[in-house]
Amino acid sequence: QAKSSGKAQYAIFQPGMHDYVLGQLQLANDLVGALDRDEFYLEYQPIIALNTSHILGIEALIRWQHPQRGQVSPIQFIAIAEETGLIIAIGNWVLQQACHHLRQILLAYPSLDRLFISVNLSAKQLAQLNFVSWVTEVLRANHLSPSQLQFEITENLFIHDASRAAQTLEQLRQLGVGISLDDFGTGYSSLNHLYQMSIQTLKIDRSFIGDIESLGEKWDVVQAIVALARIFQLQVIAEGVETPGQRQQLCGLSCVAAQGYLLSRPLPFQTLLPWLDNYGNP
């Protein structure tokens, strides 16, 4: 019957789909022991203030060096880690490792004491019991102040149990930890989030930045987001700045910070230290 309609209604039985599901299962299986096997490491991408060229912070980005597959992108495995619950152990490792590295940076360059580390946080991590006291403990163990940490969250976090998430975010804010809304403009957006949630920074998704030089709709959206941020007194970071032209154009908007390949690619820790040394702060 279904066949007579001419459409592949039972798409789940298509051979390509079968391979895909098997691949995901295999990846999930490999992910289980990856932490214990030490297959993860972090890279750090600088966040720069465009008006002063000062370095404000560094975003920690997880990398998985798989013994057979080589590098597996977080775009491929973070979703699986979230579905399987493995994200809790992995994400907690990320926070500890990032704080440990920031501590090393500050020991080497005490003048960078206002540098923050930005860590991506998933909904399940935030929902952990005692998450806030655990974060406090990690900061204390690394001699960091809460203002030296930011969490990046996405709007999807508010889809389930928004009030619980909001409560924990508020506790983090009261502690003094910064909260950024990542990939802004792509998610389950609601202006409510901007004034009900404890958010200090909007990160404009790179899909808007890539095309600003043509001065089309995307540029209008970027300007609108910056105007919105001013209303709600939020900081703005433009993601994915790749060309001098994009940088130039964003410079025209006051108070924008930027992140992207033009300024620096994400760097492994061993490369970050000499990069910081060489960059200095103007």
Q: Which is nearer to ligand C2E, 30 or 152 (CB)?
A: 152
Question: Which of 278, 229, 236 lies closest to 259 in space, CA to CA?
Answer: 236
Cβ neighbours of residue 199 under 8 Å, at least 6 residues apart?
169, 179, 180, 181, 193, 234
Q: How far apart are the first and last CA of the chain?
A: 71
In the DSSP assignment, the letter for residue 81 is H
Q: Which is nearer to Mg ion, 30 or 240 (CB)?
A: 240
Q: Which is nearer to Mg ion, 105 or 238 (CB)?
A: 238
Instruction: Convert residues 218-257 into a mask of x (bound to ligand C2E by CB under 6 A) and - (unbound).
Output: ---------------------xxxx---------------
Asked if 273 is part of the footprint of ligand C2E (rule: CB under 6 A), the reply reads: no
Cα dist. 173→97, 170, 240 in Å? 22, 5, 27
Q: Which is nearer to ligand C2E, 89 or 112 (CB)?
A: 89
Cα dist. 127→118, 177, 187, 192 in Å? 19, 17, 20, 21
Q: Which is nearer to ligand C2E, 109 or 271 (CB)?
A: 271
Asked if 75 is part of the footprint of ligand C2E (rule: CB under 6 A), the reply reads: yes
Q: Are 179 and 151 in contact (CB under 8 A)?
A: yes
What is the nearest approach in angstroms of Mg ion to the Cβ of residue 262? 16
Among residues 62, 132, 194, 236, which is the contact residue for ligand C2E, using CB under 6 A?
62
Q: Where are the beta strands (DSSP E) in the chain?
A: 40-49, 55-66, 70-72, 116-120, 149-153, 178-184, 201-204, 235-238, 256-258, 267-268
Q: Are 29 and 59 in contact (CB under 8 A)?
A: no
Stretch that binds ligand C2E, among 2-10, 155-163, 191-199, 260-268 (CB under 6 A): 260-268
Q: Which does 185 bind (CB under 5 to 8 A by kind): Mg ion, ligand C2E, none?
A: none
Asked if 195 is part of the footprint of ligand C2E (rule: CB under 6 A), the reply reads: no
Q: Which does 30 bind (CB under 5 to 8 A by kind): Mg ion, ligand C2E, none?
A: none
Residues that bind ligand C2E in the complex, under the rule CB under 6 A: 45, 61-62, 73-75, 78, 91, 94, 120, 122, 152, 182-183, 206, 239-242, 259-261, 266
